[in-house]
Structure 1
Amino acid sequence: MTDTPLTKSCGDCGMCCKVLHISELNKDAGVWCGHFKKGGGCGNYEARPSACRTFTCLWLTSDKLGPEWRPEKAGFLMYAKDDGKRLNVVVDPGKPAAWKREPYYSRLKQMSQRAYDGYELMICVGDRRIVMFPSEDVDLGVLNTDHKVVSGYVERDGAQVPFAMVLSDAE
């Protein structure tokens, strides 16, 4: 998140009310929250859970993302995770290829350049996870919530080669 004041507002977007899982509300990812009012935002705004209170999508905080990146227009929202080391792109399951359209795909590819410095760019379409690298997109398939994704680069034959793998949370 940025220290500059927000100059954008959610307005009637509500994409986060659809695509995010909110455990406090028993709301699954990809389905509209029962409190969302089309064109009016949250019907439970004053009593909304902390997950909703603290969430801010990247479009709201970034002056580098124009109006075409507004989540309901783009068909996905973005937010930083793991102290900014991972950028999650959470796609509306009703528009699963939204992230592949232009101008989004080429700009996301540019953002994925940070993978060389240890950052991750994760595309989330429902339970499917795709790690985006500058040179390729690695589709890890449908993952359970107890799985962790690890990605980065390894050196092979003198070249940097991207990798992405799924670790299960073994007890």
Structure 2
Amino acid sequence: MEPSLVTTTATPPARACGTCTMCCKVYRIEDLNKPAGKWCTHCAIGSGCKIYDVRPQQCRTFDCVWIQDPSMPDSWKPEHSKIVFSVWPATGFIYGQVDPGAPFAWQKEPYLSGLRAWSEKLLQERRHILIFVGSNATLIMPPGPVPIGPMSPQDGFVVRETFTARGKDYVATRVAQGG
């Protein structure tokens, strides 16, 4: 999914970015023609934005989930976890964009078990967590990751519950735009 910054909520941030600038790398910033997965030329890595006072609106309105949620452990701060979480406004789903320089970061602990537990809580609200490494999406479900594959911002997905000899499992299928 060519990710772009997604506004999370309108509530005041619970934390500050400090030295974290990971969102300046993982997201596409349309107004600056900045591709996803590359550092913004205006980013002073570990310090902040060199054009902070005139930064694009999409940057002004963005706060990652770590900033918004004070209960999220410090180890989940994007500069440590290499994952920037945001809320997709249309669905309330949680999207985790992984630093392409650390594509397996989400599969390490404490992140994978934390993602599985988080997905179980979100399921009660009929919400999901999707992890993106570039455009490749993986749905996180309580039993474990469910690969979806390449997704565009217009795509959706369908989740189907299955039962195997091991118990409940899930299958996720991408639904292309208009499909």
Whichever residue aligns with residue 139 of structure 1, its letter is P
Task: Report the counterpart of residue 126 of structure 1 in structure 2.
Answer: 134
C-alpha separation between the residues in 1 aligned to 2:139 and 2:62?
A: 22
Structure with greater contact order relative to length (CA < 8 Å, sep ≥ 6): 2
C-alpha separation between the residues in 1 aligned to 2:147 and 2:93?
A: 16
Q: Which residue among 129, 146, 149 is the counterpart of 2:156?
A: 149
Whichever residue aligns with residue 130 of structure 1, its letter is T
CA shift in 2, pair 1:5/1:26, >3 Å: closer
- Provide structure 1 residue ranges, at least 5 long, that are not aligned to the other structure: none
1:112-168 C-alpha deviation (Å, 9 max, x unpaired) = 11235421110011111101111231112233x2551323345779x9653322122
- Provide structure 2 residue ranges, at least 5 long, that are not aligned to the other structure: 1-7
Whichever residue aligns with residue 173 of structure 2, its letter is M
Deviation at 1:4, TM superposition (A): 6.4
RMSD: 2.5
2:111 is the counterpart of 1:104: yes
How many aligned positions are there? 169
Pick which of 53-62 and 33-42 moved more. Answer: 33-42
TM-score normalised to structure 1 length: 0.86
CA contact (8 A) 1:116 1:152 kept: no
1:12-47 C-alpha deviation (Å, 9 max, x unpaired) = 211000001111111111000110012321111111
Query: How many percent identity over aligned positions?
Result: 33
